[in-house]
Amino acid sequence: MRKNFSKSDILEEELNLAAIIIHSPKQIIKTPGCTILFYNQLLRRGINIEDTTSCFTDTILVVYMGKVGNAFMALTELISLYRKKLLPSNQ
């Protein structure tokens, strides 16, 4: 991809990064503090977020490749916890 840009257009370059894309329901737009839950979950695991972007219902977290497994597991646990809280107990 680097060849598509001139050297002066490249501000920063990092290797060994992975993107985790969290696709949320539309209600996330009107729910304050949702994204901070993702950040805090990774913080508690000692995982640094190298970059992040949020657009409509997608939250993109970029972490080092060596931490992506731990990050994915931590986020999966968080999402599972909140699904259990939000779903009625008979489902």
Contact 17, 65 (CB under 8 A): yes
Q: Alpha-carbon distance 84 to 91, whole Å?
A: 9
Spell out the domains of the chain, with CATH numbers in brackets. Answer: 15-85 (3.30.2130.10)
**Average pLDDT of span 5-26:** 91
Quote the Cα angle for 56-2-68, to 5°.
55
Per-residue pLDDT for 2 more than 90? no
pLDDT in tens, 20-37: 999 988 988 888 888 899
pLDDT in tens, 36-78: 999 999 999 999 999 999 989 999 999 999 999 999 999 999 9
90 band by pLDDT with thresholds 50, 70 and 90 = low
